[in-house]
Amino acid sequence: MRRHGVLRYIFSSTAATFGDPVYVPIDEAHPQRPINPYGRSKLMIEQVLDDLDYAHNLRSVCLRYFNAAGADPEGQLGERHEPETHLIPLVLQAASGRRGHISVFGADYDTPDGTCIRDYIHVEDLCAAHTLGLHHLLAGGDSRRYNLGNGTGFSVTEVVDVARRVTSKPIEVRYEACRAGDPARLVADSSRIRAEWGWQPQRAALEVIMADAWRWECKHPWGAASGRPPGR
């Protein structure tokens, strides 16, 4: 990047850099003590970017996503992983019949219903933050670090209940053992980016996030690029 004169960088970081929260909601001052390889790898890059800023004037914006979700409201762009690991698309695949059930890992966390709590943020609101970051850097701005979330947490059980309401489909749940490296609660305090850049989520309601993701799932029932039925 230095060789080609690229001295501005926007990095998609993650709430996983914080590890088990000391307090919730999590602001930018929260200690970063990741408890899984994903969070550690992202924190390493944040630290490298700090070093590049100090040594080579490479300015960066690190955006720490909480749980990215949703899809383009028109159904043209959406979430697709092989294999899928994110909760909302997995739940919606169970609703559409692409999978027989949704596995819930752990029902004895220290939360009201025993399942993990996460902060879900619409991908379009993440895009808006990226645009603000781009303009900030192009205007000569300094390096920044921001948490991106809606500030409201929903448990896995609540996510499944919202999916049932939005889709009007039955969704079978099977409970399995907790997974190592899953904190009980991850909820963002995004007040800094709101105050400094005026960022404001426009599609924050879980029902809206779910409806957009469901529209994508219905339009592309076997995955956006596969073009074949499940199991083939």
DSSP 8-state assignment for residue 151: S
Catalytic annotation, pick one of 9, 23, 38, 120: 38
DSSP 8-state assignment for residue 178: P
Instruction: Count each helix (H run) and each strand (E run) in the chain, helices first.
Output: 6, 10
Please confirm, yes or no, whether 54 is among the known catalytic residues: no
Distances 60 to 26, 45, 130, 141, 182 between C-alpha atoms, Å: 21, 11, 11, 9, 28
Q: Residue 146 contacts by C-beta under 8 Å, 6 or more apart in sequence? A: 28, 61, 62, 63, 64, 129, 190, 192, 193
Cross-sheet strand order for the sheet of 117-118: 154-155, 117-118, 185-186
Angle between helices 87-96 and 156-167 (to 10 degrees): 40
Contact 73, 215 (CB under 8 A): yes
Q: How far apart are CA 146 and CA 189, in angstroms?
A: 9
Element spanning 123, H or E: helix 123-138
**Residues classed as catalytic:** 38
